[in-house]
A and B are shown apart, each in its own frame.
Chain A
Amino acid sequence: RKEVEQDPGPFNVPEGATVAFNCTYSNSASQSFFWYRQDCRKEPKLLMSVYSSGNEDGRFTAQLNRASQYISLLIRDSKLSDSATYLCAVNLGSGGGADGLTFGKGTHLIIQP
């Protein structure tokens, strides 16, 4: 069964703290991985793609662990504006893009002042 799993949370984190969450996926042959951010009652927006070597964008770091089949998102120095739901997305096929992405149900993050 093809699956992408996330801890739904909520993660309640004080402002300024570091928070990390993971997303596991079922197909070891998957090649494409993404993190999206979704604000309440809005559409998901791409936060970052996840590359094999890991990648960083400001306070955000994404990593891929192929051996254990998960991706992670680390947020440093968290801001109130980081409060959102974070969705991971994986192409559970063997590539090509025609079969689209499978999304996790999201992890709800609440940054507290």
Chain B
Amino acid sequence: DVKVTQSSRYLVKRTGEKVFLECVQDMDHENMFWYRQDPGLGLRLIYFSYDVKMKEKGDIPEGYSVSREKKERFSLILESASTNQTSMYLCASSWGGGTMEFETQYFGPGTRLLVL
């Protein structure tokens, strides 16, 4: 079974703090993704990575950065947390490739971040 883990289930931070969210997958997947999910807005893609040290902006990258130094680990960084970044953050991974099997994304349990 694919396993995607996230470093924290719940996190409370103060405005202006630097926040690190970690995601690890154990299936040697090429692609990794960070989403945020808010009521009424659905899943929105922040950043994704298709290889070590590679990153691509998603739909809402402003205020975020990412790091992928190892294939299994993808970190999301909030450089200076703001209250509008309070959200559920979900990490996902996939094999990558041209078939549906390889594009299937598997999600971690999510991190609920509250910024005060």
A interface, CB within 8 angstroms of B: 31-34, 42-46, 49, 51, 87, 89, 91, 95-106
Question: DSSP class of A's interface residues: helix, strand, loop or mixed?
Answer: loop
Given contacts A43-B90, A43-B107, A97-B94, contact A105 B100 (CB under 8 A): no
B110 and A98 form a contact (CB under 8 A):
no
CA gap between A63 and B43 in the complex, in Å: 23
Question: DSSP class of B's interface residues: helix, strand, loop or mixed?
Answer: mixed
List residues of B (28-67) whose CB comes within 8 Å of A's CBs: 31, 33, 35, 40-43, 45, 48, 50, 56, 58
CA gap between A45 and B103 in the complex, in Å: 14
Tell me the count of chain B residues lying within 8 A, CB to CB, of chain A: 29
CA gap between A74 and B50 in the complex, in Å: 33
How far is the CB of B10 from the nearest CB of chain A, in Å? 11
* Chain B residues, Cβ within 8 Å of A104: 42
CA gap between A59 and B48 in the complex, in Å: 34
How far is the CB of A85 from the nearest CB of chain B, in Å? 10
Given contacts A43-B110, A49-B100, contact A100 B42 (CB under 8 A): no
How far is the CB of A2 from the nearest CB of chain B, in Å? 10
A98 and B31 form a contact (CB under 8 A):
yes
